[in-house]
Structure formats: C-alpha cells, structure tokens
Amino acid sequence: MQQNVILVIGGSSGIGLAAAQKLCDAGNVVYCGARSACPDDRISSLILDVTKPETIINAVEKILDETGRIDKLVYSAGCSMAAPVEFADEEDYRYLFEVNFFGALSAIRAVLPHMRAQNFGRIVLIGSMGGILPIAYDAFYSSSKAALAMLAKGLNLEVKPYGISAVAVLPGGTATRFTFKRKVYPEEKVGEYSSDMDRSVGALAGMEQGGMSAQEVADTVLKALSLPEPPSVMAAGFINKTYYLSQKILPDKLTQYLISNQYNLN
C-alpha cells in the first residue's frame, strides 16, 4: 500500500486500534482520534469527542497543518446497549446514534472538502452484520449500523466523480472489550422482557467473544482502503459473507425464525 495520511477515529482500542496498527505497519502516517490516547506510540493521538463535531474538525485541521493532506478516514467509534425498544430511555438511544451515526457523518463532512481538492479519498465506516441481520434487544445499535451502510451507498453516488469512495465494513461477532462496555438495562427497568433479554445478552456475548479477532476485521479494513473501486458494503470474513448473501435470498419469516433461535428466543 502506498503511504497515505490516515485518520482512524476510535483507534485507541478494539477494531480501530488493530486497523491503525496494521496501517502503521504498512508505512502510512496514522492518526488516532479518540477520547483517550492510542496505546501505540507510533500513532499520533488527537483527543476528540465524536458527539462534538467541532473537535473532529479541529483534529482534521491539525492533520492538515502537519501533513498538508488527508487521504483516508476510518470511522470505528461505536457503542451498544441492550434494552427493549419499549423501555429504552430517549437520552440513551439518542446518544447511541450520536456516536454510531452522526459522529461518522461529522467526520465525513470534515474530510470531504480536502479529499475533493486532492481528487482522491477513501472512507471506511465500521458497520456490523447487526445492521443487516437484527440483534435481539439491541435494535438501536442495529438501526444505527444499517444507517451507516446506507450512508456509504448514498455517499458513493455523490463523490465518485472526485475520486472518493466509501465502504461500510461489516464485522460479525468480534472478540474485543466492546462486549463488556455494552450498557445493559437492569431487570427492574425492562419488566416482562427480563428473561428474554437476559438470554439474548448472554447469547450475543458468546457470539462476540467466540467470534473473529479484531486483527481479522482490520484485514478487511485494509483491503477496503486499498481497492481501486471497492463495493459500498463489504462483509468481514467468509462466514459473514455467507450470511450477507443469504439474507438477500431467504424469506423474511425464515430469517426472523433463525435469528430468534440464535438468541434463544424460541
């Protein structure tokens, strides 16, 4: 891969960190934008909060001051919560969308003018198979990731003439600390949904911790960044590619049944 200047938002842990390190290994100039510093000293840290667009703009301006360009963006910031739609607090689901979707939108809008000026740019948004196949009791997360995939598709219709492309990379269950950072509503807040939600959360944790490694997902990120004409959506890993294709052909009722069974809801 030719040396590029790359901003990885959410690059201090998990998939973002794995991608930032692999990009650095490949000889790129890599910046991490996050609320905490990147643990890898080779990667320049820019402290930002994705719910505050001005901090993203400031980070991009600093990169431009230091390097004169910004070639690629990886948006890997995200959060999740287990809660029934009926009882979820508005503050919580609005915050989730601020981090998962609107933060990505702010980052895209911050880099696009500079990518257009240089007639080149690559944008990778870390989506989720949960945006294609819903996660039980994590409907807000699934909805935000579905929105990211459609954002990539719609954006490509606009920016292709400027040598820019966007890709939503879809991991499935991935063994990171993300599992243990999930906000899980307590039993007293979820009422009659409690037993179903408890089984669902346990099943999801098992799928994540028994799933892909962050490094495997990062390999797909690097591929998406390097392809001359990448697709708008790329599933990470063979199994997830199979799931991605199957959801296009299986009847909805069968898909719903299989998902319910996967989360121990049948």
Residue ranges per domain, the chain?
A: 5-262
Q: Alpha-carbon distance 28 to 6, whole Å?
A: 7
Strands 29-34 and 5-9, how do they pair? parallel
Query: Which among 129, 123, 5, 136 has a CA at the least distance from the CA of 64?
Result: 5
Helices (H), 81-228: 90-97, 103-118, 139-159, 178-181, 187-190, 194-209, 214-226
Known catalytic residues are 141
Strands 233-235 and 164-170, how do they pair? parallel
Query: Which among 59, 71, 161, 73 has a CA at the least distance from the CA of 123?
Result: 73
Mind listing the pLDDT tens digit of every residue in the chain (266 residues)?
568 999 999 999 999 999 999 999 999 999 999 999 999 999 999 999 999 999 999 999 999 999 999 999 999 999 999 999 999 999 999 999 999 999 999 999 999 999 999 999 999 999 999 999 999 999 999 999 999 999 999 999 999 999 999 999 999 999 999 999 999 999 999 999 999 999 999 999 999 999 999 999 999 999 999 999 999 999 998 888 888 888 888 888 888 888 899 988 86
**What is residue 233's three-state secondary structure?**
strand
For CA atoms 35, 38, 43, 45, the dihedral sign is: positive
Query: Which among 63, 66, 1 has a CA at the least distance from the CA of 27?
Result: 1
Residues 6 or more apart whose Cβ sits within 8 Å of residue 99 = 50, 51, 77, 78, 79
Report the CATH fold assignment for 5-262.
Answer: Rossmann fold (3.40.50)
Which pair of tokens denotes residue 263?
């989360």
